Amino acid sequence: MSLDLNPVSVSDYREVARKRLPTQLFDYLDGGSYAERTLHDNVEAFSRLKLRQRVLRDVSNIDTSAEVFGEKWTIPAGLAPVGFAGMYAKRGEVQAARAAEKFGVPYTLSTVGICSIEEIAKATKKPFWFQLYVIKDRGYAAELMKRAHEAGCSALVFTVDLAVLGARYRDIRNGMNTQMTLGKRLKVAADFARRVHWIRDVALGGRPLDFGNLREAVPNARGFGEFGAWVAQNLDPSMTWDDLEWVRKNWPGRIIIKGVMDAEDARLAMKTIAPDGIVVSNHGGRQLDSTPATIEALPAVREEVGDATTVLLDGGIRSGLDIVKALAMGADACLMGRPWVYALAARGEAGVTAMLGTMRQEMHVAMALTGCTSRKEIDRSAIA
């Protein structure tokens, strides 16, 4: 059977997405910064960790669920924020949010989503999370937080590793955020034109240039590249830990700090606002290259904060086995970015649901063969 018709693993969905998406969009999702060493090492570091196989234990009743932030998740892995997801499928953020809700894990809407906070709220019944970047216009940032709170978002995921934009060479080669020559524009246009599925699903039916949450901020954007350039120009490199008090004043609910890779930064986060959660993340290898893989940075952060806050890991998760490894190394739960967007681009909402189901099945097998019947039993002893 064709892989296009029956993708199963994350790598399967990635391959289908590669075939269906215009190169410019696929590379924006798939690529990382500079030489992409951290991007690849995020994944490879998981492969270097070995599970400790245990046998002849009663594993007839396995529970893959976990309680995170007082909520029961079907698996301890939610959907991380990914910008411009509506470029990858018709109203992509809505489809992903619905899949996450039905499956029983949280969905995080990016500041730069194609679909707005209000559109996601209207399409779902349960609270979702909202991710906010550090942007120069504090008034607009405060307005976004107000909108998210009024829409019922249960957590603010505040991304702190985007003071400046990392150089993503694939994007530069593809003409994003740069002035293209006529020849380059024609080449890009021809590549878009031959992606018939994408044209039918997204270009004609998906309003891909809606730029939901920032529609008022960038009213004259005529394309993906122009909008991305505006975002890059409006990041705020002057923000410090002291400014997190401003975030706390403007957000009455749960705050999760995303982008911590160092134990000292974890200590500063706890000292400044004591966030409800910390996400060990290097932005999926899209910012500073040659940093440690997230799974390598996790133990030190966990040791620093102890049980004082919830620790999540983002970056490199490609299977249910990786989720088990992350839990064993100290994470309370994980967030996944590229996997759900690959699945979304391949098969829409059904693809995201199926991908999550595969993750759960892979977790089930990994737990059974390491002798763990519940999330509480997964610890360092599961690692060989």
Q: Would you mind telling me the total number of residues written for the chain in this entry? A: 384
The residue range of the domain holding 242 is 10-50+74-169+232-362
Q: What does the pLDDT read at residue 1?
A: 47
In a domain, 276, yes or no: yes
- Answer for the pair 245, 145: CB distance below 8 angstroms, yes or no: no
Answer yes or no: 283 catalytic.
Answer: yes
Query: Whole-angstrom Cα distance, residue 159 to residue 339?
Result: 20
Q: 109: pLDDT confidence band, cut at 50, 70 and 90?
A: very high
In a domain, 60, yes or no: no
Q: How confident is the model over 270-317, as pLDDT tens digits?
A: 999 999 999 999 999 999 999 999 999 999 999 999 999 999 999 999
Q: Which of 40, 149, 197, 283 is catalytic?
A: 283
Q: How confident is the model over 305-355, as pLDDT tens digits?
A: 999 999 999 999 999 999 999 999 999 999 999 999 999 999 999 999 999
Residue 132, judged by CB atoms within 10 A of its CB (0-12, 13-18, 19+), counts as buried
Residue 89's domain is classified under what CATH number? 3.20.20.70
Tokens coding 318: 């490609």
Tokens 């992509």, located at residue: 92
Tokens coding 147: 């909108």
Tokens 């063969």, located at residue: 369
How is the beta sheet containing 155-159 ordered, strand by strand?
77-79, 333-336, 310-314, 277-281, 254-260, 155-159, 129-132, 108-109
Query: Whole-angstrom Cα distance, residue 340 to residue 350?
Result: 11
Supply φ then ψ for residue 33, to 5 degrees: -90, 150
| pTM over the 0.85 mark | yes
In a domain, 274, yes or no: yes
Q: How confident is the model over 78-92, as pLDDT tens digits?
A: 999 999 999 999 999
Query: Whole-angstrom Cα distance, residue 63 to residue 43?
Result: 26
Q: How many domains does the chain have?
A: 1
In a domain, 149, yes or no: yes
Torsion of CA 292, 107, 154, 301, to 10 degrees: -10
In a domain, 185, yes or no: no
